[in-house]
């Protein structure tokens, strides 16, 4: 995997020291980020990612990120990497004076061809009433601890419940499960991140002839769902092979959704 970083108009290697020690994003986690998939060197669904990045910045009191600078940075890192599939991360941190500091990084390599993942339910709740709920914040410690706990238990991902005992999301992904022949994803009121892949799937599934809806899911539903998947910009639609050590198979609905989504994302680069 090759990684290149753009910061203050210059390209750097991944190991280069580019962040100021006075940056409040680095010191306090005051900042937001978004991650796009790269399709042949170009970011997928960039307009939607920038819209969410701007909304998130405003929610935590930062100025809107400079879209013109972001486009310039993307052109620079994409030219350096070439026409590869991979990932692009846009970080908008507070900087030393809360005026904002932009860092854009890109890497070759993709997660779409990984095997099905195993997930476990995590023991602590996600607070859907938190002011950071639904924000892709640099204050990402709880998610990292959740992922580490899942991995300690032999899984690839951890599923978070909210304070009402409802299914919320995974630590790094949104979640889809099959219930009575219909695919269901938790609503935004659960506290889950408004994922771009989630958003697109809700729009595109009717066109694909696949039933997908938002609905609150009690934690007990996880004990009986026959099929489930993680969704994210880097994973696409990734089937789960087990939840809490209960084996699952992919199922025809999730298999079709995964295939059609991957086809569509290559047809429409910025939907």
Give the residue, 170 or 97, on which the prediction is more confident.
170
What is the sign, positive or negative, of the torsion defined by CA atoms of 93, 74, 202, 229?
negative
Q: Classify strands 101-108 and 117-121 as parallel, antiparallel or unpaired.
A: unpaired
Tell me what percent of the residues of the chain surpass a pLDDT of 90. 90
How many CB atoms lie under 10 A from the CB of residue 154? Answer: 10
Q: How far apart are CA 70 and CA 113, in angstroms?
A: 28
Q: Taking a C-beta distance cutoff of 8 angstroms, is the pair 225, 243 a contact?
A: yes
Q: Taking a C-beta distance cutoff of 8 angstroms, is the pair 270, 264 a contact?
A: no
Three-state SS string over 76-125 comes to HHHHHHCCCCEEEEEEEECCCCCCCEEEEEEEECCCCCCCCEEEEECCCC
How many CB atoms lie under 10 A from the CB of residue 108? Answer: 16
The pLDDT of residue 16 = 87
3-class SS of residue 225: coil
Give me the chain's average pLDDT, please: 94
Provide CB contacts within 8 A for 175, sequence distance 6+.
159, 167, 169, 185, 186, 192, 228, 229, 230, 231
Instruction: Give 114's pLDDT tier (boundaries 50, 70, 90).
Output: low
Please give the average per-residue pLDDT across 162-180, as a whole number. 97
Residue ranges of domains in the chain? 3-108, 117-267
| Token pair in block for residue 195 | 């994922």
Please give the average per-residue pLDDT across 79-84, as a whole number. 91
pLDDT per position as a tens digit, 205-260: 999 999 999 999 999 999 999 999 999 999 999 999 999 999 999 999 999 999 99
The pLDDT of residue 86 = 93
Please provide residue 176's backbone torsions phi and psi, each rounded to the nearest 5 degrees.
-125, 135
Please give the average per-residue pLDDT across 98-125, as a whole number. 86
pLDDT at 113 over 60: no
Instruction: Give 14's pLDDT tier (boundaries 50, 70, 90).
Output: confident
pLDDT per position as a tens digit, 136-149: 999 999 999 999 99
pLDDT at 115 over 90: no
3-108 CATH pick, 3.30.1490.100, 1.10.3720.10, 3.30.70.1380, 3.30.470.10: 3.30.470.10
3-class SS of residue 179: strand
Q: Taking a C-beta distance cutoff of 8 angstroms, is the pair 62, 92 a contact?
A: yes
pLDDT per position as a tens digit, 15-71: 888 888 899 999 999 999 999 999 999 999 999 999 999 999 999 999 999 999 999
The pLDDT of residue 116 = 72
Burial of 82: CB neighbours in 10 Å, binned 0-12, 13-18, 19+ = exposed
Please give the average per-residue pLDDT across 62-85, as a whole number. 95
Q: Taking a C-beta distance cutoff of 8 angstroms, is the pair 166, 190 a contact?
A: yes
Tell me what percent of the residues of the chain surpass a pLDDT of 70. 98
The pLDDT of residue 48 = 98
The pLDDT of residue 112 = 54
In this prediction the pTM is: 0.94
117-267 CATH pick, 3.20.10.10, 3.40.50.300, 1.10.540.10, 3.40.50.2300: 3.20.10.10
Give the residue, 241 or 14, on which the prediction is more confident.
241
Please give the average per-residue pLDDT across 164-168, as a whole number. 98
The pLDDT of residue 7 = 94
pLDDT at 109 over 90: no
How many CB atoms lie under 10 A from the CB of residue 262? Answer: 12
């Amino acid at each position: 995997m090759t990684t290149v970083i753009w910061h203050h108009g210059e390209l750097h290697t991944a190991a280069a020291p580019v962040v100021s020690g006075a940056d409040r994003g680095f010191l306090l986690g005051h900042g937001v980020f978004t991650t796009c998939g790269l399709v042949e060197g170009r970011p997928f669904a960039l307009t939607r990612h920038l819209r969410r990045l701007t909304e998130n910045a405003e929610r935590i009191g930062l100025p809107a990120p400079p879209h013109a600078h972001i486009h310039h940075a993307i052109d620079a890192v994409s030219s350096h990497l070439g026409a590869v599939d991979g990932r692009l991360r846009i970080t908008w941190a507070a900087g030393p004076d809360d005026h904002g500091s932009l860092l854009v990084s890109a890497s070759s390599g993709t997660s779409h061809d990984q095997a099905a993942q195993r997930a476990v339910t995590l023991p602590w709740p996600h607070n859907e009433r938190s002011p950071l709920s639904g924000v892709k914040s640099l204050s990402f410690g709880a998610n990292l601890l959740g992922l580490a706990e899942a991995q300690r238990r032999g899984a690839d991902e951890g599923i978070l419940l909210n304070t009402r005992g409802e299914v919320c999301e995974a630590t790094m992904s949104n979640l889809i499960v099959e219930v009575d022949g219909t695919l269901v994803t938790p609503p935004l009121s659960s506290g889950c991140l408004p994922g771009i892949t989630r958003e697109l799937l809700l729009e595109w599934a009717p066109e694909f002839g696949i039933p997908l809806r938002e609905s609150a899911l009690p934690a007990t539903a996880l004990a009986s769902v026959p099929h489930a998947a993680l969704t994210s910009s880097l994973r696409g639609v990734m089937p789960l092979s087990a939840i809490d050590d209960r084996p699952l198979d992919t199922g025809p609905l999730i298999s079709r959704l995964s295939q059609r989504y991957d086809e569509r994302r290559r047809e429409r680069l910025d939907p």
